[in-house]
Amino acid sequence: MCGIYGVYNKRIDELLAKRCLDEIAHRGPDGEGLVMWDHVTFGHRRLAIMDVSDNGHQPMSDASGRYHIIFNGEVYNFLEIRRELANKGYRFVSDSDTEVILYAYIEWGEGCLDRFNGMWAFAIYDREEDTVFLSRDRYGVKPLFYIEGQGPEGSYVAFASEMKALLPMMDHPEPNRKITLNPKCYTRYEISDECVFMGIKRLPAGSNMHIDRHGKRISRWYRTLDHLMKDVPADYEAQTALFRELFLDAVKMRMRSDVTIGTALSGGLDSSAVISAMAHIGNKDDLERVQKDWQHAYVASFPGTTVDETDWAKKVTDNLNIKATFVNMDPSRYANELDEMFYRFEELYLTSPIPMMVLYRSLREDNTLVTIDGHGADELFGGYTFDFIEAMSDAKSREEIEMIAKAYNGSFPHDGSNNSRKEMKPESLYRDYRIKKIKRRLKGDVYKSLETGSPEFESLDHLNKVLYASTHETILPTLLRNYDHYAMASGVEIRMPFMDHRIVELAFSIGFLSKLHGGYSKSIIRDAMKGIMPEEVRTRRTKIGFNTPIVEWMKGPLKEYFMAAVTEQDFLNSDLIDPGKVRTKVEQVITDPGATFAMGEEAFSAIYPYLWHRAFLRHR
């Protein structure tokens, strides 16, 4: 896990290259490498996870010196691939997965990607052919941005793990007002090549880029719908057994590390399943390169707010008999750091990045450099309220309607508190769903997947179509982007077992009944983890999620910060927002005793483009 930077077909000054690389030093605090040829530059900031010795230094080359690689990410099954390559005669000088990727590419070309189980963004320079090959993992867990321009040698391409590493090469970087002026875009621009800065693009998830003297060519190498499982058991119990086998193997692979690992634990089903699986695996002796030092749970604590889940997290750690580190989220401690946080975060989003960045910083301060987290389960297996209700379109009997209603009712607090749940009879819930759906259609507020119309997509049931869009196009791509920035801002690596491609492919190969079985959301996860995780947590219906208590913070510890921001002259002159409307929204949250979470989120997302741009201007 690191930061990469490269330029093809442009001679650049070494000082400029170092400046660009320094912009992502937080991604790789353990070392740096810079190699400059006539018209190609490769730079690397290293976060040492596998083989922490100098043998893992990058840029790395093969024995002949023809191929050179810079790599950000992890390939978890590198030991198995390494053995296969060794049997073919390859000799390794390191114990890193980077060297395995390089030789796998030399042996199988682009076909090596199908063999990788992991997350990555890497570039390989073939000096003999004078070409650069870039690749991004299946789901875009690791980021890769690029710019294009014209130089004395013709067109050039520069690429990096973060946009800020490319800004020094741009004359006048401008915000992309198409995005900044429309908060509704904040969860939808990640699927496109558009970024928050004009002129910067992203390589799409599951895509490759080939660069040579003639220019660049982008191709898609992976699509989930092309890899749906043909032989998934029809029986639910057999499906559950298959999921359990895959999930435990995915966790075991992600426990491979030469440094301390831990978990960002919320007390919800997903992260609790992960750390319980780690405990189940970690007690075994026949493990290869699996880190035994995994007993580190970090919990974000929001005392006195509606989003605090410390009691639930403690049930998990008590059950596993391990200590939990509770990180108290007091935003007043970080008020002077907010500009730097916004700069490190780099993107636009609906809620404040403070608690997430503080949590992962606490891992780094405790020398826990890898965290294995539960991201992806909600989007894959139906963890959100709107998922349950959308399943009504699939119901073919009253029994199925009642099952969906049971999963829906009581699962989410309706007014932001933990004690208020609006119970509805199945027939009322079904009628309510139909009315809302008609209203959305009349308003034109219906999101269509980019895959709509393809035979593979149309073969999915309605719930899975909604989940497919959430997983590949809207919610999850945004969260993957965000959490990369949250953690890498402090040089911490997040691994996500639910994002194992085998689990993703299974998720869209089973029907909605397997995801809401017995009237529970994400039922296949719950049933697979029976006997492994605490029963009270396994059957828990309420869901809070890792959110910022933005209303309480704006009324309390951050009130002065926000009130000062909306009175600044730069705020009043900003063309990224509507200053009058934004100020009204902020002041309403601060002064209205009945301000809701939705009001707080709307106010923050409205002012955030200004705070984001201010952070970049001050930093530069």
Residue 391: give its domain's CATH number.
3.40.50.620
Residue 40 has pLDDT above 60, yes or no: yes
Q: Which residues pair with 60 in a beta bridge?
A: 69
Residue by residue, DSSP assigns 151-176 as ETTEEEEEEESSGGGTGGG-SS--B-
pLDDT of residue 451: 96
Distance of CA 470 to CAs 268, 464, 466, 478, 568, Å? 20, 10, 6, 10, 38
Q: Taking Cα atoms as reference points, which of 615, 609, 604, 616 lies closest to residue 575?
A: 609
322 lies in the same domain as 209: no
Please give the tally of structural domains in the chain: 3
Single residue among 497, 515, 547 that ends a domain in this structure: 547
Calculate mean pLDDT across residues 495-503: 98
pLDDT digits (tens, 9 = 90+) for 421-452: 456 666 666 666 666 665 565 566 667 899 99
pLDDT of residue 331: 87
pLDDT digits (tens, 9 = 90+) for 518-543: 999 999 999 999 999 999 999 998 87
> Which positions ≥6 away from 382 have C-beta within 8 Å?
388, 391, 463, 467, 512, 515, 516, 521, 522
Range of the domain at 98: 2-222
Contact between 586 and 554 under an 8 Å Cβ cutoff? The reply is: yes
Per-residue 3-state assignment (H helix, E strand, C coil) for 441-486: HHHCCCCCCCCCCCHHHHCCCHHHHHHHHHHHCCHHHHHHHHHHHH
367 lies in the same domain as 380: yes
pLDDT of residue 585: 97
Calculate mean pLDDT across residues 355-363: 96
CATH label of the domain that carries residue 96 = 3.60.20.10
pTM of the model: 0.94
Instruction: For Cα atoms 516, 517, 523, give the angle at the middle one, nearest 5 degrees.
Output: 70
203 lies in the same domain as 318: no
43 lies in the same domain as 81: yes
pLDDT of residue 182: 87
Q: How many CB atoms lie within 10 A of CB 547?
A: 20
Q: Lowest mean pLDDT: which of 2-11, 354-363, 402-411, 557-566?
A: 402-411
Where does 26-95 show beta strands of DSSP type E?
A: 32-36, 40-46, 60-61, 67-75
The DSSP call for residue 577 is: S
Give yes or no for a cis peptide into 59 (omega within 30° of 0).
yes
Q: Lowest mean pLDDT: which of 242-246, 358-362, 392-396, 418-422?
A: 418-422
218 lies in the same domain as 259: no
> Mean pLDDT across the chain, nearest whole number?
92
Residue 412 has pLDDT above 80, yes or no: no
Residue 416 has pLDDT above 50, yes or no: no
Q: Is the dihedral of CA 522, 599, 475, 325 positive or negative?
A: negative
Per-position b or e across 30-59, b if 16+ CB within 10 A of its CB: bbbbbbeeebbbbbbbbbbbbbbeeebbbb
210 lies in the same domain as 255: no
Distance of CA 255 to CAs 226, 282, 494, 519, Å? 29, 9, 11, 32
The DSSP call for residue 515 is: T
pLDDT of residue 442: 55
515 lies in the same domain as 410: yes
Per-residue 3-state assignment (H helix, E strand, C coil) for 386-435: HHHHHHHHHCCCHHHHHHHHHHHCCCCCCCCCCCCCCCCCHHHHHHHHHH
267 lies in the same domain as 228: yes
Confidence of residue 419 (pLDDT cuts 50, 70, 90): very low
pLDDT digits (tens, 9 = 90+) for 111-168: 999 999 999 999 999 999 999 999 999 999 999 999 999 877 789 999 999 999 999 9
429 lies in the same domain as 335: yes
pLDDT of residue 5: 98
Instruction: For Cα atoms 346, 348, 350, give the angle at the middle one, nearest 5 degrees.
Output: 140
429 lies in the same domain as 564: no
pLDDT of residue 417: 40
* Alpha-carbon gap, residue 158 to 169, rounded angstroms: 9
Calculate mean pLDDT across residues 369-382: 97
555 lies in the same domain as 463: no
Q: Lowest mean pLDDT: which of 58-62, 186-190, 241-245, 407-411?
A: 407-411
User: How many angstroms from the chain centroid is the CA of residue 145?
Assistant: 16
Single residue among 200, 222, 244 that ends a domain in this structure: 222
Q: Which residues pair with 125 in a beta bridge?
A: 68, 132
* Alpha-carbon gap, residue 363 to 493, rounded angstroms: 10
Single residue among 547, 582, 599 that ends a domain in this structure: 547
Residue 420 has pLDDT above 60, yes or no: no
Residue 415 has pLDDT above 50, yes or no: no
197 lies in the same domain as 240: no
Contact between 525 and 540 under an 8 Å Cβ cutoff? The reply is: no
Residue 233 has pLDDT above 50, yes or no: yes
